[in-house]
Amino acid sequence: MHSNIGIIISREFSERVAKKSFIITTLLMPVLMLILMAAPALIAQFSTPSHRRIAVVDQSGLVLPALIADKSAPDYLSLVASSAPVDTLLADDETDGVLLVGSDILSNPSDVKLYLRDAGSMALEMGFQSVIKEVVEAERLKNYNIENLSEIMKEIEADVHLQTIRVDETGESESTSSAISFFVGLAMTFILYMFLLMYGQMVMTSIIEEKNNRVLELVVSSVKPMQLMLGKIIGVGLVAVVQVAIWGVLICLMSAFLLPVLMPEALSQEVALAGAGALDGADARFNPELVQAVSLLGSVGYIAKLFFMMTLFLIGGFLFFASIFAAIGSAVDNIQDASQLQSFAIIPIIVALMFSLSVGNDPNSPMAVWLSMIPFTSPMVMLSRIPFDIAPWQVWVSLAILYVSFVFMAWIAAKIYRVGIFMHGKKPTIKDLVRWARYK
């Protein structure tokens, strides 16, 4: 028995691993991660805007001094005061644009126009808007005759960054972020969603093709239907596991060796301080969420843990749903007939994805807990909860229920499979499938 299953597993695995599509998709994910890691450095290096010379016609006399005194103005921008008409200034080849500020800018803040000879720049436009907004607000505050009002307003401004600390039963504390946990869980959920659909339908399609070619009828003469079904499911499942394992190893290597090289030195220092718990939020140059996100991306242990848990739920979820897809594939003669029946497998996967999107609101809500235990939804819902550092017992109970449910589902699917592979020419109904499953 074991040798027969091993032969089927080996055939299904080697046949798919050797395909170019497997190699391409396996390498594509780490490349995308590499691009995301390198994007900030590449953008900073290659996207420096070209030098621009902007003539400023300030009819109010208030905006130009503020623009010149603006310390945040980029080095590539040169401002030149002028009172000439706009058409004349634009005719000058050395002038790239004209900023025209109306005399009634205080009463009409929209009385400002930027004329450019080439494509606009979002950074340039937002920079001008920000300075003009500050000038108008400062001048309007003077009408209240309160001494040092602008300084008072700046002093009362507060930029609050809430730091969440998770304290476990042993008293150990760890900095967490719900936003980062949500996006990490969402990424893992989408990966699992893609694998369950793609590889589950791969099992179904393979069975339909071999059934039409009458290959199954020849194979079952020497291999039991149960062995054949499990061999196909396990063989295809190993392909998915190998792909995820390769992704995990490559991403861990990039996290350990590539990310520190791409990270700016100032950000690297803040990440180190945050890891040691010595980062003062008041002195931080970068957003705390960014610092924590980079810190997690640079933690090989954290990434390895996530991929390990994702692999466990991938195996359990795939075995469970692939059994359903295998039963459907054995019961029909073509893909068109399978489209209606496979909704029994696809709809729960889609429902699980939809509920996973809402887990971030409260990962410990009764709905989230129960859906992470029900095998039809647990693989994806639980993966979306794991980054929130939920109680470990919930994870292991969910896994136990999922794997036990696979055994039960495989037993039912095998009953349908052993009858369905010999049925041709008639599209089965739900009653037929139930009747086949009840055969002894």
DSSP string, 126-140: HHHHHHHHHHHHHHH
Q: Rounded to whole angstroms, how far apart are CA atoms 247 and 41?
A: 23
Domains detected in the chain: 2-38+166-438 (no CATH), 52-156 (3.40.190.10)
Beta strand 97-101 with 112-116: parallel, antiparallel or unpaired? antiparallel
Asked if 385 contacts 372 with a C-beta cutoff of 8 angstroms, the reply is yes
Which SS3 state, helix, strand or coil, does residue 144 take?
A: coil
- How many residues are present in the chain? 440
DSSP string, 280-324: -TTT-SS-HHHHHHHHHHT-HHHHHHHHHHHHHHHHHHHHHHHHH
Which SS3 state, helix, strand or coil, does residue 43 take?
A: helix
Beta strands in 60-119 (DSSP E): 77-81, 97-101, 112-116
Residues whose CB falls within 8 Å of the CB of residue 5, separated by 6 or more in sequence, listed in order: 227, 230, 231, 234
Provide φ and ψ at 189, rounded to 5°. -65, -45
Pull the structure tokens for residue 26. 């396996």
Residues whose CB falls within 8 Å of the CB of residue 323, separated by 6 or more in sequence, listed in order: 229, 233, 406, 409, 410, 412, 413
81 pairs with which residues across the strands?
56
- What is the separation, in whole angstroms, between the first and last Cα of the chain? 20
Find the radius of gyration of the CA atoms of the chain: 31
Look up residue 117 and give its DSSP letter: S
Q: Is the pTM of this model over 0.85?
A: no
Nearest to 303 by CA among 241, 359, 386, 361: 386
Q: Rounded to whole angstroms, how far apart are CA atoms 347 and 312?
A: 22
Nearest to 316 by CA among 406, 381, 394: 406
Asked if 231 contacts 12 with a C-beta cutoff of 8 angstroms, the reply is yes
How many of the other CB atoms lie within 10 Å of CB of 283? 8
**Residue position matching structure tokens 């340039």:** 124
Asked if 188 contacts 244 with a C-beta cutoff of 8 angstroms, the reply is no
Q: Where are the alpha helices (DSSP H) in 215-299?
A: 215-219, 225-253, 259-262, 265-275, 288-297
440 residues of the chain, pLDDT tens digit each? 456 677 777 777 777 777 777 777 777 766 776 666 555 555 555 555 567 788 888 888 888 888 777 766 666 677 888 888 888 887 877 787 888 888 888 888 888 888 887 766 677 778 778 888 888 887 777 777 777 766 777 777 766 555 555 555 555 545 556 777 788 888 889 889 988 998 888 888 888 877 777 666 566 566 777 777 888 888 888 988 888 888 888 888 877 776 667 666 665 655 655 554 545 554 555 556 666 666 666 677 888 888 899 999 999 999 999 988 888 888 887 777 777 788 888 999 999 999 888 887 788 888 989 999 999 999 999 999 988 888 889 999 999 999 999 999 888 888 887 777 777 767 777 787 778 777 76
Look up residue 170 and give its DSSP letter: T
Pull the structure tokens for residue 119. 């494509």
